[in-house]
Amino acid sequence: MDDGNRKSTGELFEELVAVMARLRGEGGCPWDREQTHASLKRYALEETYELLEAIDENDDSAIQDELGDVLLQVLFHAQMAGEEQRFAIGEVMSGLRDKLVRRHPHVFGDERAADSGAVLRNWEKVKALEKSSDGAQGHSLFTSVPRAMPALARAQRVGDKAAGVGFDWPDVEPVWRKVEEELEELREAAGTGEAQHRVEAELGDLLFSVVNLSRFLNVQAEEALAGTIERFHGRFAHIERELAARGKTVSEASFEEMDALWEQAKTLGEGEKAR
């Protein structure tokens, strides 16, 4: 492990902030100087996904590197805000410190939390008080769930928050029934020639009920679907390789031929990987 030339974390952080300021300053990097908060949005998203991929691969070296890239985005935005005299990186850090202390009264205060469920309830209670004291108008339990999140992940977060205040089924059995009910309603809408928006709405209801089921099964819906996509990709790649060995492409093969190779791929474990 690199010890950072035995410098303290604070010293290294100050050097990093100085490097960012240099890149944005006179005589710095033309590309860095041209960026805005809006132009960097896509990079924040890309770097986050690359970090998630590194975590899935359980690759410490990659995780370390991607964490650095995510930190770069934080420093970049804070530097630009500082140049505009809006806020600086120190305010970002002190704000985060204060928030962590406020939202963990069972650690830094007198409250008690017997389990993680109590911790989450305390977190939401303190968060609601913060919003109220800030004079936030129209604050909802779900206000803090970003609309830009992938739909499955957002649905699960909304479900988690609703469950956190007691709006949830008592156990998994009615959730199974809800999934079956929504599937039947979708089948009916699609089979009777309902308008496309009705079919879309019923499909959305089914997906949301499946996400709720995933909560009760302690599965992250987004990760479950990502795993299925990876398996599909791996198995289809097997079909492509086997057909290529026969001098064929997928467009030249019959469904029956591809289906047989698909079953072969499943038997061979193609597309499977340790998670």
pLDDT single digits (tens) 200-252: 999 999 999 999 999 999 999 998 998 999 999 999 999 999 999 999 999 99
Instruction: Tell me how far the alpha carbon of residue 166 is from its chain's centroid.
Output: 24
| Average confidence score pLDDT of the chain | 91
> Which amino acid is it at 211?
V
Structure tokens at 72: 């770069």
Structure tokens at 10: 């604070």
Tens digit of pLDDT for each residue in 68-104?
999 999 999 999 999 999 999 999 999 999 999 999 9
**What is the DSSP code (8-state) at residue 11?**
H
Token readout for 188 is 């009916």
pLDDT at position 275: 41
Q: Is the pTM of this model over 0.75?
A: no
Minimal CA–CA distance to 206: which of 173, 168, 180, 167?
180
What is the per-residue pLDDT across 96-154, written as a single tens digit (0 to 9) for each?
999 999 999 989 988 888 888 888 888 877 877 777 666 555 567 888 788 888 899 99
Residues 250 and 258 sit within 8 Å (Cβ to Cβ): yes
Q: What is the mean pLDDT of residues 5-31?
A: 94
The Cα 221–Cα 147 span in angstroms is: 17
